[in-house]
A = this chain, B = another copy of it.
Amino acid sequence: MNEKCMELAAQLVPKTFVKVAKDASHSREKQIENLLIHKKIPEEGWDDISIELLLSQLALMDSNNFMGNCGLGEREARVASSLVARRHYNFGHGIGRSGDLNEPQPKAAGSSLMYKLTNRFLEDLFKLMGIQSTVRCILVPLATGMSLVLSMMALKSSRPGADVVIWSRIDQKSCFKSISSAGCRAIVVDTKRNGDQLETDVEGILKKIKEVGANKVLCVMTTTACFAPRACDNIEEVAKLCKQFDVPHLINNAYGLQDKSVMCRIQKAQRVGRVDLLVQSTDKNLMVPVGGAIIASFDEDLLQTVSKCYPGRASGSPIMDVFITLLHLGKSGYLKLVEERVEKFKLLSEKLREIAAGIGERLLESPQNPISMAMSMSKLPADELRSYGAKLYIRSVSGTRVIDLMEHKIICGQEFKSWGSSTNDYDVPYMTAAAAIGVTDDDIDLFMKRMKKIFGKNQ
């Protein structure tokens, strides 16, 4: 309530009470003011009252919530169901303006402001996670795969004639499909085995760049976060190659933002070589529902090109989720999650190592994968392996994968041997498990119990 309302309130309630209340309300206003001054994630998370207060004030800045608005256009953000209006905090205009995702929308100052702030928050988050160079971010309401498409589209617009993507193999379907969705041709460079770990074949990439001709290469696409025993790509060396051959470097950093060691390598890659665009999932890194990705770049112009490649407006829903979540967590909250994850990763490794030992198996060594791990499954008959996946699934263990090395797959015309393993010839079947952000002791305990049940007879 404004000054005047507070004065009027004092006609009904003693002045001293109102005075104290006014001072207190003022602290909330001040909090918003500070947010707008600094445009950064708050140090400490906000309570829900403050978050909803801000959301409601932003919503009032959109024309569909103006009291005397009259809408004579074809798109006026009228919402038929009050359940729907409510769940969007009365926002309806989405983000973007015909030509550009990041352009403010005249009908929706509040939505536009939320979007701008969210992008600033994300830049702040990159800094928090170890990126020291100036980085620009836009949050797109597209999941990782489609964001990779958008990134390649943007690269294409400034690199006519180049349509080959050199791709360090990572067996995730949507990632590979994004290349052909973007109208490009993929050249797959298989990973190289080193001990248990699968690593980037940097020479292989070099060879392909030369073969194809650098000017025909739209980009090299590397991946940081993946299922063990595949390691985070050697992005530093690839970055050097890209710099040397003047070829863009697109990093699929799907769930690497949650890990400081990965972010540190990205920073290093940027320093020693070339990194053009980074794509990271919001749901995998920020604990929001599926639906958004952060596209980041050290090159502001390039990022603007990405933003302009998106034709038309887009859903504001994934933006709101991230906006709320970062206000809720604050920097300290996010760091806490990050640190806890590292601990849980250790815990999970230990526990899984024990299980493995008990059944004559072992944890595969993949020191450059900080999130996922793999346990060998060498003792079981090959044709029973998949049934173990099903057993875990029906016992509500989600997210583990059993790789029996027997799946051959053709995707968009490309053949893959041993699909799922990111290489053509790995010799030990295995299962993977990850300790991703938000994983709890309970998750690990339950997992261990069920593992013991399923593999019990072997113990």
Contacts and interface: CB of A to CB of B under 8 A. Distances in A.
- Give 4 nearest A-B pairs by CB, closest first: A73-B399, A291-B315, A145-B312, A94-B290
A374 to B, nearest CB: 12
Nearest to A434: B74
Contacts of A333: 80
A172 B329 CA distance: 40
B61 A25 contact: yes
Given A32-B1, A104-B17, A113 B9 contact: yes
16 contacts: A5-B33, A8-B33, A20-B109, A24-B68, A70-B442, A72-B435, A73-B434, A77-B290, A91-B289, A93-B290, A98-B172, A99-B411, A148-B311, A174-B313, A290-B315, A291-B317
Given A142-B314, A146-B310, A328-B83, A117 B398 contact: no
A210 to B, nearest CB: 26
Nearest to A227: B74
Total copies of the chain: 4
Given A183-B156, A314-B290, A255 B80 contact: no
A280 B401 CA distance: 38
B314 A66 contact: no
Contact of A74 (B107, B178, B255): B255
B318 A315 contact: yes
A286 interface: yes
A284 interface: yes
Interface string A68-104: 1111111111111111100111111111001100001
A1 B89 CA distance: 16
